[in-house]
Amino acid sequence: MSDAIGGKNDSSRQRGSRDQTGPHDRGSEDVTGEAICPYCGVGCRLVARARNGRVISVRGAADAAANHGRICPKGATLAQVIDTPDRAIAPLIREDRSRPFRAVSWDEANRFLADRLNAIIAENGPSAFGFYGSGQLDTEAAYCAARFVKGGLKTNNTDSNSRLCMASAVAGYRSSLGSDGPPPCYADIADASVILILGSNMADAHPVTFEFVRAKKRVQPETFIIVVDPRRTRTARFADLYVQIRPGSDVAFLNAIAYFLVTRGLIDHRFVRESTTGFDELADDLESQNVRDLAAVCGVEPGALLTLADRIGTAGRFLSFYGMGINQSAAGVDKNNCILNLHLITGQIGKKGAGPFSLTGQPNAMGGREAGLLKDSLPGYRRVEQDEDRREMEDAWSLPPGSIESSPGLSAVKMFRSLAAGSLKAIWIAGTNPMVSLPDLNASRVGLENAELVIVQDCYYPTETSDYAHVILPAAQWIEKEGTSTNSERMVTYSERVLDPPGEARPDWRIFCGVAQSMGLPGFDFPDAAAVWDEFRQLTRGRVCDQSGMTAARLRRERSIQWPCPNESGPGAQRLYTDGRFPTPDGRARIFTRRHRTPGDPVCEQYPLVLTTGRLAAHWHTRTRTRHVELLERQEPEPFLEINPTDAVVRAIQDGDIVEVRSRRGLLKTRARISTAPAPGTVFAAFHWGDRFRVYASANALTPAELDPVSDQPEYKYCAVEVRACTIERGDDTAAQDI
Ligand code: SF4
């Protein structure tokens, strides 16, 4: 499956485009530069040292608020992911998938894309095109993509893989608090008295932030740590109180906690009266529910729920962290609303050591949202449905009134469904590998097979997704480009360029601008990344995510500033909503009444177990980077299925056996790992592996494409399966040899 054109890389580093500034490598002289880590949303700032065109060391930046010099094994081994044999180094084109790729110049690639996109749009209209980006793109790239697609091509069909991890957190914040954006900051860990970690294996997925929690517990052992998760993870093992709820029962669990808070009078009535609406409706609804029924749904004794509620209700400072266990659900927005309810009814928001903190998955998932990459957003957290917001952007982009579509575009999963149905003809995929990460992979694959034009922009080639491409666009990656990212705590960090990109690889923002200019679209002649940033940050003036005070020059001096930061000489703000006012029409936050819903892929006699999927400490997303790091590969060399001994014994499965996992949609063949981490009835698999590792290696062949009705985020945490012992047949592992 590999293709020599893109897969070959000259280890001496051919020089790429020269249009960037920064302390880039000057031969044998050592050069250092700082950049945000390209993996998780903790957003550690790292210091890279390079010599002779290679990164020779990576360490944490001591003065970075996100990490204070700390670093995890993925960040520490970044030097090994840059000069790999599979770096994409030249634009590649093939007219149809039966032909081999040919390497072309950027001019030819841009002309080809301009002609093909113009033809498809002329024949089918702008909505025949979709852009699917990523939280890996820096803000400059996300802004250029949003401007190109929404303002230039005139379709709102832009979405990001943030749809798969953060969309429900966004919709939860927007509906409850009036705007997206986590209210607390990492420094709040030091002041919290009770920390609730819900649906997040922070120890593995956000390791440096979890280190701050551990350090806090060491210094102040009276800090009470509660972990709620269906799987007894490394995070759970650290807890003072671990609650193993059933998969999919979070709303029932959170309602039970709210019930006890209300009935025991652990409510901040003043905050509720002055800063919220909806409390009476919630209290009435909770009273009408039987708390024993709620406890039975989540499989927890009512006494444990009462203890937990007392801890939260009497906490001086209550901080919660939550992640994919909450968001990756067909009821993800409801779950987010219920967590926010707990903070609103107890007044634990907008003050030191308190608040609801949704852990962002990727380094710039936040920045993409701020820049307008999602299907319903415009730069500065504007919304396509709002007339005034569209008018402001049309003015800013010198477009005639009515140029920007007023209805949201297609979300991630719906784009692939529309490709399969034929209403979407072309897709541009940048910085992500959906042929491993999308749910119900077999159905999603049909979409790409059916597409007339598939453009894949990535720093690696080949990937599972590029197998379907007509065009490959080589992107510069971490430390090869300058750009800006926003981490989980709203900290905007500038990343420097230390190396030249390999071959013809370019920064993502320049790739979008090149095609836009070839299509004759005005406004894409930015001289450099700083000019892109300065245009974007001025569009945030007066918005919740105000970054107008962070000039490009200031970010290059100060490196990291937290938003909102409206003043060029003033600091950023650590916390949101400190005055008890929220960006809603009446200034009050909304307390919502939500009810438990049964997950849509129910267990039955044929599929009696619940599969929940997730991440491992050693790998990142679809392993395009981490598979190059020997240390990480040694830790987790292959996919596995965690299964409780009770479920294993009735199926005659031994530890290490190869098992076949079937759902209503697909098949996974993997190795059994017998473990008490999942409760009986639940199994766990990581989603990192794809078809290029081995046929039937993808956990997402099993997962359903059921979406949250508000956020369109897919359900990855509740999938009915059956497991049985089997063998990997001859031929199943041939794909592994290609990578
Ligand atoms: Fe990178 Fe996240 Fe590790 Fe920090 S914790 S070094 S951001 S992977």
Residue nearest to atom 6 of ligand 1 (CA): 75
pLDDT for the residue 155? 98
Instruction: Give yes or no for residue 208 CB within 6 A of ligand 1.
Output: yes
Instruction: Give yes or no for residue 36 CB within 6 A of ligand 1.
Output: no
- Over residues 339-366, mean pLDDT: 96
pLDDT for the residue 726? 87
Q: For the segment 596-654, what is each residue's pLDDT rounded down to a tens digit?
A: 999 999 999 999 999 999 999 999 999 999 999 999 999 999 999 999 999 999 999 99
Q: Does the residue 189 lie in any domain?
A: yes
> Looking at the structure, do residues 421 and 556 belong to the same domain, yes or no?
yes
- Over residues 291-298, mean pLDDT: 96
CATH number at residue 331: 3.40.228.10
Q: Does the residue 634 lie in any domain?
A: yes
CA of 527 to the centre of ligand 1 (A): 31
Instruction: Give yes or no for residue 141 CB within 6 A of ligand 1.
Output: no
> Looking at the structure, do residues 396 and 338 belong to the same domain, yes or no?
no
DSSP string for 320-356: EEE-HHHHSSTTHHHHHHHHHHHHHHTT-SSSTT-EE
Instruction: Give yes or no for residue 625 CB within 6 A of ligand 1.
Output: no
Return the structure tokens found at 397: 């982009």
Q: For the segment 65-104, what is each residue's pLDDT rounded down to a tens digit?
A: 999 999 999 999 999 999 999 999 999 999 999 999 999 9
- Residue 620 alpha carbon, nearest atom of ligand 1: 8
> Looking at the structure, do residues 311 and 267 belong to the same domain, yes or no?
yes
Q: For the segment 523-543, what is each residue's pLDDT rounded down to a tens digit?
A: 999 999 999 999 999 999 999
pLDDT for the residue 699? 97
Closest CA relative to residue 693, chosen from 626, 614, 613: 626
Instruction: Give yes or no for residue 39 CB within 6 A of ligand 1.
Output: yes
Question: Any idea what DSSP says for residue 663?
Answer: -
Query: CA-CA distance, 413 to 444, in Å (whole number)?
Result: 8
- Residue 39 alpha carbon, nearest atom of ligand 1: 8
Chain mean position to CA 643: 27
> Looking at the structure, do residues 533 and 451 belong to the same domain, yes or no?
yes
Instruction: Give yes or no for residue 359 CB within 6 A of ligand 1.
Output: no
Query: CA-CA distance, 31 to 455, in Å (whole number)?
Result: 35
Q: For the segment 713-735, what is each residue's pLDDT rounded down to a tens digit?
A: 999 999 999 999 986 654 454 44
Question: Any idea what DSSP says for residue 135?
Answer: T
CA of 249 to the centre of ligand 1 (A): 30
Over 60: is that where the pLDDT of 198 sits?
Answer: yes
Over 70: is that where the pLDDT of 355 sits?
Answer: yes
Task: Give the number of other CB atoms < 10 A from CB of residue 698.
Answer: 29
pLDDT for the residue 727? 67
- Over residues 246-265, mean pLDDT: 97
Indicate the residue among 358, 383, 410 that finishes a domain: 358
Return the structure tokens found at 159: 């979405």
Return the structure tokens found at 330: 């067909």
What is the enclosing helix (H) or strand (E) of 397? none
Instruction: Write the Ramachandran bin of 656: left for phi over 0, alpha for psi from -120 to 50, otherwise beta.
Output: left
Instruction: Give yes or no for residue 71 CB within 6 A of ligand 1.
Output: yes
Q: Does the residue 259 lie in any domain?
A: yes
> Looking at the structure, do residues 323 and 392 belong to the same domain, yes or no?
no
Q: For the segment 425-471, what is each residue's pLDDT rounded down to a tens digit?
A: 999 999 999 999 999 999 999 999 999 999 999 999 999 999 999 99
> Looking at the structure, do residues 396 and 535 belong to the same domain, yes or no?
yes
Q: For the segment 659-707, what is each residue's pLDDT rounded down to a tens digit?
A: 999 999 999 999 999 999 999 999 999 999 999 999 999 999 999 989 9
Over 50: is that where the pLDDT of 580 sits?
Answer: yes
Instruction: Give yes or no for residue 35 CB within 6 A of ligand 1.
Output: no
CATH number at residue 495: 3.40.50.740
- Residue 67 alpha carbon, nearest atom of ligand 1: 4
Q: Does the residue 585 lie in any domain?
A: no
Q: pLDDT class for 24, splitting at 50, 70, 90? A: low
pLDDT for the residue 29? 78
Domain boundaries, position 204? 183-358
Residue nearest to atom 5 of ligand 1 (CA): 208
- Residue 46 alpha carbon, nearest atom of ligand 1: 6
What's the total number of domains in the chain?
4
Q: Does the residue 604 lie in any domain?
A: no
Query: CA-CA distance, 682 to 603, in Å (whole number)?
Result: 11
Instruction: Give yes or no for residue 75 CB within 6 A of ligand 1.
Output: yes
Query: CA-CA distance, 324 to 329, in Å (whole number)?
Result: 8
> Looking at the structure, do residues 621 and 541 belong to the same domain, yes or no?
no
Identify any residues that bridge with 357 across adjacent strands, giving them in sequence order.
Answer: 321
What is the enclosing helix (H) or strand (E) of 120? helix 106-124
Query: CA-CA distance, 335 to 121, in Å (whole number)?
Result: 39
Closest CA relative to residue 531, chosen from 509, 514, 511: 509
Q: For the segment 7-22, what is each residue's pLDDT rounded down to a tens digit?
A: 333 333 433 333 444 5
- Residue 206 alpha carbon, nearest atom of ligand 1: 5
Specify the residue for token string 């040694």: 634
Task: Give the number of other CB atoms < 10 A from CB of residue 505.
Answer: 26
Query: CA-CA distance, 525 to 516, in Å (whole number)?
Result: 9
Q: Does the residue 233 lie in any domain?
A: yes
Strand arrangement, sheet containing 491-495: 483-486, 491-495, 560-562
Q: Which of 67, 362, 621, 623 for a ligand 1 pocket mutation test, highest count of atoms within 8 Å of Cβ? A: 67
> Looking at the structure, do residues 197 and 248 belong to the same domain, yes or no?
yes
Over 80: is that where the pLDDT of 5 sits?
Answer: no
Average of per-residue pLDDT values in the chain: 94
pLDDT for the residue 28? 65
CATH number at residue 46: 3.30.200.210
Identify any residues that bridge with 318 across adjacent strands, giving them in sequence order.
Answer: 194
CA of 518 to the centre of ligand 1 (A): 38
> Looking at the structure, do residues 354 and 367 belong to the same domain, yes or no?
no
Q: Does the residue 105 lie in any domain?
A: no
> Looking at the structure, do residues 350 and 240 belong to the same domain, yes or no?
yes
CATH number at residue 716: 2.40.40.20
Instruction: Write the Ramachandran bin of 710: left for phi over 0, alpha for psi from -120 to 50, otherwise beta.
Output: alpha
Bridge-based pairing state of the strands 129-133 and 102-103: unpaired
Q: Does the residue 170 lie in any domain?
A: no
pLDDT for the residue 17? 35
Closest CA relative to residue 531, chosen from 121, 21, 84, 127: 21
Indicate the residue among 306, 335, 358 that finishes a domain: 358
pLDDT for the residue 506? 97
Instruction: Give yes or no for residue 40 CB within 6 A of ligand 1.
Output: yes
> Looking at the structure, do residues 523 and 441 belong to the same domain, yes or no?
yes
> Looking at the structure, do residues 350 and 379 belong to the same domain, yes or no?
no
Indicate the residue among 336, 358, 380 that finishes a domain: 358
Q: Please state, in angstroms and as integers, the Cα–Cα distance from residue 590 to each residue in 179, 287, 340, 539, following that order.
A: 11, 19, 9, 27
Beta-strand (E) ranges in 615-689? Answer: 640-643, 658-662, 667-674, 682-686
Closest CA relative to residue 12, chosen from 29, 27, 32, 33: 27
Q: What percent of the chain has pLDDT over 90?
A: 93
